[in-house]
A and B are shown apart, each in its own frame.
Chain A
Amino acid sequence: MELSAHDTLIACTPSGLPGFDLFVPRTVEELRLALRTAEHPVAIYAAGTDIFAQFRQGFRPKSLISTKELQLSARIEIGDNALKIDAGATHDMVCKHPALDEIPGLRIAYSLIATTRIRHRGTLGGNLMARNTRYELSILLTALNATADLVSKDEEKSLALTELWDLDPSKPVYLKSVSIPLHGKPRLDYRRDLRPIATQALATGNGGYRLVFATEYHRPWVSDFEDRISGAQQIERLPEDFGNAVAGVDWLRSAGAALLARQFKTLEPAI
């Protein structure tokens, strides 16, 4: 809400957006120049499905960096024993790409998120960089131990997806691509039956498991373990502060354990 000229509260809408300086970089070098020179606050704009929600909540950028002309921003390919997805790839593009066959369970998990209209438009980069606890790609890809390649005004670096949550929002960075390692032949099972209360991803590969548990209110909780027994023990360690007005932590732990049992059956049916 914002205060109107008549001292009343009115809803923020994108219609009320003041003009911003618009940057349309074509290369990573131009992007970094834009990040260095743009007046803050800066919005990095891909498909707009998240940022318009932010406008609705009162965000008013002084600069907007549109990635629509950024070269090579929507590739999906296998290389260096990893599945690499550029940030500009839409959810629909990713789901239809044959490279996803390298990770059983990823295509079906990816295809569950968002509506058809959003899937044709929403991008991997936008979903991850929104750092919104209601968005799901962070959950799936963290389970698969993915890393993010980032461009800031000063450098390019790679981070684990869990570290994206710790980035300073006042220092804009561009997510260039995400790499999912393929060594160990990873497999994924994602359960969103209990959404919006909770969702859970389990991935296996290299002899171990990674569990990612998420609610609408917290960044995803990650646990690595070696076998089913230790997995069941781990879910009992879901932090106390995951309990919320909708579901207490005991209920969430029980739900997580039930989902985990199903996920083990899916991923390791022979055991």
Chain B
Amino acid sequence: MKPISKKARIAVNCSVNGADCRHEVSTSRVLADFLRDDLGLKGTKVSCGRSVCGACTVLIDGAPRAACSAFVFEADGCEIETVEGLEGKEGVPNPLQQAFIRRSAFQCGFCTSGMLMLLWGLLRDNPNPDRAEILRWVSSNTCRCTGYSLIVEAVEEAVHEMNRSREAAQ
């Protein structure tokens, strides 16, 4: 096993919002900086820098992860999803984003992209979460503005809308 030197560049192959991505990075390149500065995806916000607040939450292979506390080398072979990937064709917000808009589930907006990614991860893991589970997940991320209740209501509304769409499609 040969170590990768601190002076070397590592080739990382991953998928970002469905698009193949190949870059060479240093061993210590942090994922949040890579997404924002190398790929221009500024939707991922960095706040605490130590995976406490969750503002930088992205999905890696479907699991929520603080991008400020992940190295790019870990993402080799992985599928990364950021808030930019949530919207559908022609920029139509997805059901969760639409529920956030209808419920005004944001004020300053700094935590919003992280909240959306975290809760999109929840809805993919469990399309029918009850309020207790929504609260458990929401409590992973910090919002200083809203008091969380509108965020919880937005998720419940999104669940309702998505179930309605699924039933209509059947």
Which of B3, B49, B51, B54 is A22 in contact with, Cβ under 8 Å?
B3
- Given A23-B1, A56-B49, A118-B51, A14–B30 Cβ distance below 8 Å? yes
Question: Are B1 and A26 interface neighbours, CB within 8 A?
Answer: yes
Complex alpha-carbon distance, A64 and B30, angstroms = 14
Please judge, given known A-B contacts A26-B1, A121-B63, whether A48 and B71 are in contact too, CB under 8 Å.
Answer: yes
A14 and B3 contacting across the interface, CB-CB below 8 Å: no
Q: Report Cα–Cα, A116/B27, bound state, in Å.
A: 28
A117's contact among B5, B64, B70, by CB below 8 Å, is which?
B64
Name the contact of B140 in the complex, choosing from A33, A38, A56, A118 (C-beta under 8 A).
A118
A200 contacts partner chain B, Cβ-Cβ < 8 Å: no
Docked-complex contact A21 and B70, CB < 8 angstroms:
no
Tell whether A48 pairs with B28 under 8 Å between CB atoms, given A22-B4, A24-B1, A63-B3.
no
Give min CB distance, B33 to chain A, whole Å.
5
Question: Inside 8 A of B10's CB, which chain A residues have their CB?
Answer: 22
Contact flags A1-33 to B (C-beta < 8 A → 1, else 0): 000000000000111011111111110001001
- Docked pose: A34 CA to B3 CA in angstroms: 8
Contact of B74 among A49, A55, A66, A117 (CB under 8 A): A66
- B7, A19: Cβ atoms closer than 8 Å: yes
Size bracket, chain B contacts: 20 to 34
Nearest Cβ on chain A to B59's Cβ, whole angstroms: 11
The answer to whether A116 and B139 have CB atoms under 8 Å apart is yes
A18 x B6 contact (CB < 8 A): yes
B27 to chain A, nearest CB (A): 4
Q: Give the CA-CA distance A25 to B27 in the complex, in Å.
A: 15
Tell me which residues across on chain B come within 8 A of A121, comparing CB atoms. 63, 65
In the bound complex, CA of A33 to CA of B1 (Å):
9
B10 to chain A, nearest CB (A): 7
Contact of B50 with A by CB under 8 A: yes
Q: Choose from B30, B64, B141 the contact partner of A120 (Cβ within 8 Å).
A: B64
Residues of B within 8 A of A (CB): 1, 3-7, 10, 26-28, 30, 32-33, 49-51, 54, 57, 63-66, 68-71, 73-74, 118, 136-137, 139-141
